[in-house]
Amino acid sequence: MEIKPASFLKNRTSVYWAAPGVHEKVVQILDTAFVARGKVLDLGCGPGALSDRLHKLGFSVVAADKFPEVFLYHSTIPFIQQDVEDEWVNIKDGFDVIIAVEIVEHLENPYLFIRRCFEKLRTGGTLVLTTPNAAHYVSRLMFLRSGLYDLYSPSKVKAETLTLSGNKLPQHINLFTDWMVRFNLERAGFTQVRFFKSNNWLSGLFPFPRHPLRFLPRFLYHFLGTLCLPLLHSEEKGSVITKTLIVSAKKAEAVQ
- The number of domains in the chain is 1
- Evaluate if pTM is beyond 0.95: no
DSSP type of residue 170: P
Domain range for 98: 3-250
pLDDT at 11: 41
Distance CA 48, CA 52 (A): 6
- How many whole angstroms separate alpha carbon 132 and alpha carbon 2? 22
Q: Is residue 256 part of a domain?
A: no
- Position 255 in a domain: no
Give 132-168 as a DSSP string: EBTTSHHHHHHHHHHS-BTTBSHHHHH-EEE-TT-PB
Measured in degrees and rounded to the nearest 5, phi and psi for residue 43 equal -80, 140
Domain membership of residue 74 (yes or no) is yes
CATH number at residue 102: 3.40.50.150
C-alpha 220/C-alpha 228 separation (Å) is: 12
Range with the poorest average pLDDT among 108-117, 161-170, 191-200, 210-219? 210-219
pLDDT top residue among 233 and 113: 113
- pLDDT at position 129: 97
The three-state secondary structure class of 244 is: strand
- Asked whether residue 240 is assigned to any structural domain, the reply reads yes
